[in-house]
Amino acid sequence: MCFLGDILQELIMGKVACAMKPPEAETEIWSIRHINSLPQEILFSVFKFVSFADLRRIVLVCRHWREVGEDPVLWKRLKLVVDKPEMPILRCILSIKRLACLEHLEVNGYGYSGDTAVIDADNAEVILKTKVSKLTLKHCDVSKVTPEDLDKLINNLGSLVLWQTVLNKVQIGSIFKSVIRSERLKELDIGYSYIDLASIEPEILAAALNKVKKVNLGHTKLSPSQLKTLFKYISSETMIKNLDIGYRDLGVVQTEILKSALKNLEKANICSTKLITTPYILSYKYLTKSSPK
């Protein structure tokens, strides 16, 4: 009650009375000062200011608070992490009322005897029926998902993050064709997937990545031809703002093309080795501002 009382004090009328039954003479005052007498819309507005940890406690206070606190809008920005043992009940988890507007889903397959978490056709169908716009898959096996379902997933997403995720060759090729068709995808992070992309046509790879604002290709395998084509696209016109393409030799790219491409980026990691534990981030705008004239 204490933290909600402080919020209400600023929003409505000052100090809120303690939640105990008042003398009969003060009944009229109590009726407008007791928190449960507030309109549901005001209580909902208060709940929007609390953390998800507090929101979990709020829905346990009473039936009225649970009714308000279960509103899916309050939970839409929650990052839901589903671990490998919970995958068999993914459908039940995502059918919970409060998660109806969930935007960020992470499936975590790390830490369970080295085996990956399997995303099969049924799991893909369940995710497709949600409002998830950011999907993070860590140590997962997606090879059983059809290219058609993978295409539908990508078309629904604004962000796709793949860490050590198992994909078959057909899926790897179809992903970038799906990215080209997508109108929503703004982030593609496959830097820690360790995927071999060398078999993808350079023009298809470059055209797909050029539509995405934030791209991480850090530890993927790319051919010299792909690198040349990608930076040629970026040097001309690009939607990419943040590019991580480090941990590889960019000597195959002409210096002038590389310089021209960096001018079109806000941030880029082009470091050939990993420094300590954090990639070195090269900001072209920062360098041009700080360099002596």
- pLDDT at position 3, please? 53
19 contacts 35 by C-beta, under 8 angstroms: yes
CA-CA distance, 141 to 218, in Å (whole number)? 20
- pLDDT at position 77, please? 93
Question: What average pLDDT does the segment 110-130 reach?
Answer: 89
What digits encode the pLDDT tens for the residues 199-251? Answer: 999 999 999 999 999 999 999 999 999 999 999 999 998 999 999 998 888 99
Mean pLDDT over the full length of the chain: 84
CA-CA distance, 236 to 253, in Å (whole number)? 14
User: Sign of torsion, CA 197 199 202 203?
Assistant: negative
38 pLDDT tier (thresholds 50, 70, 90): confident
Higher per-residue confidence, 39 vs 268? 268
Least Cα distance to 1 among 20, 14, 22 occurs for 20
CA-CA distance, 43 to 4, in Å (whole number)? 9
115 pLDDT tier (thresholds 50, 70, 90): confident
Exposed, middle or buried: residue 2 (CB in 10 Å: 0-12, 13-18, 19+)? exposed
Length of the chain in residues, anyone?
A: 293
- pLDDT at position 161, please? 97
16 pLDDT tier (thresholds 50, 70, 90): very low
Q: Give the Cβ contact number of residue 165 at 10 Å.
A: 25
149 contacts 128 by C-beta, under 8 angstroms: yes
CA-CA distance, 17 to 12, in Å (whole number)? 13
Look at residue 143 and tell me whether its pLDDT is greater than 90: yes
Percent of the chain with pLDDT over 90: 68
Place of tokens 């997962």: 140
Place of tokens 């830490």: 111
- pLDDT at position 293, please? 45
Amino acid 223 reads S
- pLDDT at position 17, please? 39
- pLDDT at position 62, please? 87
73 pLDDT tier (thresholds 50, 70, 90): very high
For 112, list phi and psi in degrees, rounded to 5.
Answer: -130, 80
**85's tokens:** 């043992």
Residues 6+ apart with CB under 8 A from 160: 134, 135, 153, 154, 185, 187, 188, 189, 190
User: Sign of torsion, CA 45 51 52 57?
Assistant: negative
CA-CA distance, 186 to 209, in Å (whole number)? 10
- pLDDT at position 274, please? 58
- pLDDT at position 135, please? 97
Is the full-model pTM beyond 0.75? yes
- pLDDT at position 157, please? 97
